[in-house]
Amino acid sequence: MKILILGAGSLGSIIGGHLARAGEEVTIIARGQRAAYLEQHGITLTGLADFTVPVAVTTKPQTVPEADVLVVAVKTYDTEPALESVRHLRVGSVLSIQNGVLKDEQLAHTFGRDKTLGAAAFLSGGVTPAGPVRFTVNEYLVLGELPAGISARVQTLVTTLVRAGIRAEAVPQIQAVEWSKYALFMSWMAPAVLTRLESYKFQTQPDTAAVMARLVRETGLLAPIRK
């Protein structure tokens, strides 16, 4: 499978590294010092996985004409210019492992709804100052058709990820999972910003815990889940 990873941060490196080690044809679109590091050293993971694997890297997205799967793994504020750089791509499927609920619409606008899959990543890690990525959470990566359903292409991609060492599963209601994660994150982010406290501190206070519960409930009411 020819897989293009747009973004070489922690999640892009974790997914791209596992797939490359499993023998998939992976290309990472990166920039600056991160691209230079990957070209010279490959992807190195520590923590839940411990390996180094060479990987194809490019700083010029226009030189990649096609891919079976495009995985968008850039920071949310970089999404629009990043997608513009790969608008030319002939791609079978595209998915975003970003947080938030606007990402699917952005992908569909660029590549078409028929190409766009829903996804939610419950993975975590961090790029260390030296360059390796510390892989800390491997809960699961869920995929599904939009607005709902499980298809052969979703199953194929899930099988590929699992074989590579990423816990993944296909779900029939991917929008519900995406919105559930968003609602949960919203309930943490607002109190964190307002209180300037570590999460465990405001979560154990009755007043802020009540605010979190209300935020989850109100965010859930906004979800346009279609069956």
Domain covering 2-172: architecture: 3-Layer(aba) Sandwich (3.40)
Burial of 88 (0-12, 13-18, 19+ CB in 10 A): exposed
Tokens representing residue 211 in the block: 């605010």
- Spans of all domains in the chain: 2-172, 177-222
9 has a pLDDT exceeding 50: yes
**pLDDT tens for residues 119-166?**
999 999 999 999 999 999 999 999 999 999 999 999 999 999 999 999
Average of per-residue pLDDT across 30-43 = 97
pLDDT at residue 225 in the model: 60
